[in-house]
Structure 1
Amino acid sequence: MDDGIKESLLYSKKKNGSELKDKIWEEGKKLWKIAAPTIVTRVSGFGILVVTQAYIGHIGEIELASFSIVQSIIMRFVDGILLGVGSSLPTVCGQAFGAGKYHMMGIYLQQSWIILLTASLFMLPAFIFTTPILRFLGEEEELTKHAGKLSLWFLPLFFYQLIGITTQTFLQAQLKIMIVGWASAISFVLSMILSRLMVDRLSWGVSGAMGAMNLSFLLILLTQFIYIFGGWCKDSWNGFSKSAFNELWPFLKLSISSGVMLCFEFWNGAVLVLLVGNMKNAQIVVSAFSICLNINAWVYMVSLGFLSAASVRVANELGKGDAKAAKFTIKLNLSISLTIGVIFSILALVYGKSISFLFTSSIEVAKEVSSLSVLLASIILLNSVQAALSGVAIGCGRQSLVACVNIFCYYVVGFPLGMYLGYVINLQVRGIWAGMICGTATQTLILMFITWRTDWDAQVGKTMTRFNRSILPSSEEVSSDITSHA
């Protein structure tokens, strides 16, 4: 081969390699700009719950079991609905931001509030009638009485979730989530200070721990309100508008499919806790298993950062009409998520036993946690990939399809297999959890196949059709139109 041709090919390869590195670097910065503050927000917010659980765990085993069962069953039940219904917001806000229709984002936020506030009326009884609900589900009598008293302390957290999740999504879609990250980090530190003061110094027990938790979440919510209503979102927030009641039905349909998509995923953990609660030594088993779930959930907050990044970046690129950019961000997001998942899985295997002492002083509970470390590492790894793929689905508005996948994987595959391994094979809690993990593995494989087979050019067309149908003109466009007609 001629030397000139060789040099030309070598130069071309170097140039392509350099362009790819630049492309990865630029897209990586965009992903981390969304993911990093979102991770800080999620980890800090969940960290407040972990701090509260840790202080309650050192008060007593029955108190820890009560907190765990309310958080894992009642709160997980309502969180599934709130997060599910609210997950339609990243789709529409991300696409609006990508298309430059910033005024629509405020309308979408208000529509989400209308739907969630209406839904909250049907969820309040879960907190008021916790004791009879748990008694009906077959939980121990002493546990149900303590849980019933504790559940009322979760009501402020419930309303924080209702409003806070949507405002965070609203800010996240326009790359303004850093303020929430700072507020969450400060609130996490505040929760530790207040918990030490109210529990250790003032000896207020469970009331002190729960009061510290609620005050910490209140600070985050107030910060978001001040930022949005104080003029820092002037392009996307133009005040409350009657337009929020226009085109409410299409938004409600997307919200319902989003709710089904995430509800069955979140309720998966509640089903596990219910099954474990009916086994022998329920207090020890529930406490140990809830610690594992909380460790997994805390790590999952990192995965949720990349879920958010995937949903925002995919929605942005589809809103712009760039299918190639959407595919590239998906590949990069999955690579980063998988790498982080592997790291945390290894940490779970190495430190599975020692980390349990953050939540409890019981040697028996710590031993039970240690015996579940392999399963904990497995679910952490699977969730790192599954979360990124779910974010892709949210970004392109395919919640209905993923809802069907979730129902099949969790309740046709995972739940029956878990029952068989746990009760028939008699593997107890390890068998139940192993079965549900198989459901998550099936879900991850199906989502990977769906993402791989997606025609992203067709998705751009669908996005444009759906998005343009719901667009309301901005005040500037209306003024311009009036002037031109005059």
Structure 2
Amino acid sequence: MGQEMEKDIKEKLLGSGEEEEDENLKRKIWKEMKKLWIVAAPAIFTRFTTFGVSVISQMFIGHIGATELAAFALVATVLLRFANGILLGMASALETLCGQAYGAKKHDMLGIYLQRSWIVLLISSIALLPLFIFTTPILKLLGQDDEIAAMAGTISLWYIPIIFSFVFSFTLQMFLQAQSKNKIVGYLAGLSLSLHVFFSWLMVIKLKLGLAGAMGSTILAYWIPNFGQLGFVLCGGCPETWKGFSRSAFTDLWPVIKLSLSSGAMLCLELWYNTVLVLLTGHMKDAEVAIDALSICLNINGWEMMISLGFLGAASVRVSNELGRGSAKAAKFSVVVVVVNSLCIGIVLFIMFLLLRGRLAYLFTDSPEVAEAVSVLSPLLAFSILMNSVQPVLSGVAVGAGWQSVVAYVNVTCYYLVGVPIGVVLGYALGLHVKGIWIGMMFGTFVQTLVLLYITWKTDWDKQVSMAFARVNKWVLPASLNPNGSNNTLV
């Protein structure tokens, strides 16, 4: 009798223990979800609205003329993506540095890292100027249509102020995001998009300023959020992490440059992948329709990509914060939560875009031929959207942990040694045209996703904590270690 009672008591205790463990897991997931969405929600909204600026511009330019639309698509997808890849990639070094420093409570270093990134990105922007000044001869050399190349040369000059806006927008967003203070970025981006719609209508439709009106409104839309973010940071919005301009920003730049180059290589190779797709399409028959249809698909794909990039930023912040704090287990758990969240959204959008097919094309064009071409590409668009729900998030994990150089090698192999050659064979040798090129590129992305999943799964997170600790303490200012030290503040 006594043994039966004892057994009964043990069963009850074990049962309650399992229930308690389940409750603890649910509480842990909910807590991580809140931390994730505090960063992800404003980041997704910001990227939606920022990407929306380009889409709104394309919609207005598309109704000016087919040549203008093709030229805008070429500049935005080839040159702007090229420059965007370099600057965003180099700025993502700031995500690693600020995220890990913030997690380690080295708050005074964040402002120094921000200023160092400004210096590195300004130099990089100046180096990119010849691409936008000599656009027409470059595109003709690449075999693009003469009329489209000439119009692209005009549009590219309007993009020069936009390139310099990226220096501040990328770095300030990452600086604020690392502290989970990116709500202000979302508010400013929403305001900017609303003003862009109004000014585009005013200058293109009402005042009949054509291309100049559309591009003038675009420049304003990119710069307005920068002034707001700078005002927020410089006027007391980040009292712990912004201590004023400092001479220390000009010292010890080489380690930041090296990490920036690794980050730039990682993201550039990723963002340029679609650029190769457009360039290959430009050599086909009826290139104008093909480029227009493909650019519309890539724009729709880009909308969804903004969700994934929001999760990329959130994954980077969560992983870097936890590694900087010294918690390997929490970093690993945050990876699982962010991947599952992004994948669930990707599945819903995959089904939705399979059903919509080419109907969305008429938002961008009046041409039935282009709309039909978009309809044919829609299944590939849906599958691309599904893959985009996982792959960028894993890149965010890499940024948070500081693996940028490893992922750069993975990107070269999977994209350019696997995806592009298969796409060329399917598109040209087997006559599948744009569909064949896109299938090849998708296969490269699929292989890359599998490799990143394997790397993430096999990672020794305790070792990553040690590496984060070494990185933070290697680049910390002597003043932050000594409370009585000087920070060489200028302002």
Pair in the same fold by TM > 0.5: yes
Q: 3-state DSSP class of the match of 1:265?
A: helix
Match of 1:321 among 326, 343, 350: 326
Query: Following the alignment from structure 2 to structure 1, what is the Cα–Cα distance between the partners of residues 396 and 374?
Result: 30
Aligned residue in 2 for 1:276: 281
Match of 1:181 among 160, 177, 186: 186
How many percent identity over aligned positions? Answer: 51
Preserved contact between residue 346 and residue 385 of structure 2 (Cα < 8 Å): yes
Preserved contact between residue 43 and residue 301 of structure 1 (Cα < 8 Å): yes
How far residue 213 of structure 1 moved from its aligned partner, in angstroms, is 1.4
Preserved contact between residue 103 and residue 474 of structure 1 (Cα < 8 Å): no
Match of 1:141 among 139, 146, 152: 146
- Equivalent positions of 1:366-385 (< 5 A) are 366-385=371-390
Query: Following the alignment from structure 1 to structure 2, what is the Cα–Cα distance between the partners of residues 179 and 235?
Result: 17
Preserved contact between residue 478 and residue 485 of structure 2 (Cα < 8 Å): no
Superposed CA offset, 1:176-196 (max 9, x none)? 100010010111111111111
How far residue 9 of structure 1 moved from its aligned partner, in angstroms, is 1.8
Confirm whether residue 36 of structure 1 aligns to residue 36 of structure 2.
Answer: no
Preserved contact between residue 353 and residue 382 of structure 2 (Cα < 8 Å): yes
Q: 3-state DSSP class of the match of 1:121?
A: helix
- Equivalent positions of 1:292-441 (< 5 A) are 292-441=297-446
Confirm whether residue 89 of structure 1 aligns to residue 94 of structure 2.
Answer: yes
Task: Give the residue type in structure 1 aligned to 2:343.
Answer: L
Aligned residue in 2 for 1:126: 131
Superposed CA offset, 1:286-339 (max 9, x none)? 000011111111110110111000001100000010000001000000100110
How far residue 476 of structure 1 moved from its aligned partner, in angstroms, is 8.5
TM-score w.r.t. the length of structure 2 is: 0.96
Match of 2:106 among 101, 105, 108: 101
Task: Give the residue type in structure 1 aligned to 2:93.
Answer: S
RMSD, matched Cα: 1.4
Preserved contact between residue 393 and residue 399 of structure 1 (Cα < 8 Å): yes
Query: Following the alignment from structure 1 to structure 2, what is the Cα–Cα distance between the partners of residues 404 and 373?
Result: 31
How far residue 216 of structure 1 moved from its aligned partner, in angstroms, is 1.7
Count residues in correspondence: 482
Match of 1:479 among 446, 470, 484: 484
Match of 1:225 among 215, 227, 230: 230
Query: Following the alignment from structure 2 to structure 1, what is the Cα–Cα distance between the partners of residues 120 and 136?
Result: 28
TM-score w.r.t. the length of structure 1 is: 0.97
How far residue 209 of structure 1 moved from its aligned partner, in angstroms, is 1.2
Preserved contact between residue 86 and residue 112 of structure 1 (Cα < 8 Å): yes
Aligned residue in 2 for 1:484: none
How far residue 347 of structure 1 moved from its aligned partner, in angstroms, is 1.6
Task: Give the residue type in structure 2 aligned to 1:332.
Answer: V
Query: Following the alignment from structure 1 to structure 2, what is the Cα–Cα distance between the partners of residues 412 and 50?
Result: 31
Gaps of 5+ in 1: 482-486
Confirm whether residue 239 of structure 1 aligns to residue 252 of structure 2.
Answer: no
Task: Give the residue type in structure 1 aligned to 2:431.
Answer: N
Query: Following the alignment from structure 1 to structure 2, what is the Cα–Cα distance between the partners of residues 480 and 388?
Result: 40
Query: Following the alignment from structure 1 to structure 2, what is the Cα–Cα distance between the partners of residues 182 and 101?
Result: 28
Aligned residue in 2 for 1:207: 212
Query: Following the alignment from structure 2 to structure 1, what is the Cα–Cα distance between the partners of residues 19 and 186?
Result: 39
Match of 1:446 among 441, 448, 451: 451
Gaps of 5+ in 2: 487-491
Superposed CA offset, 1:130-187 (max 9, x none)? 1001010000010011111111111121111122101110011011100010010111
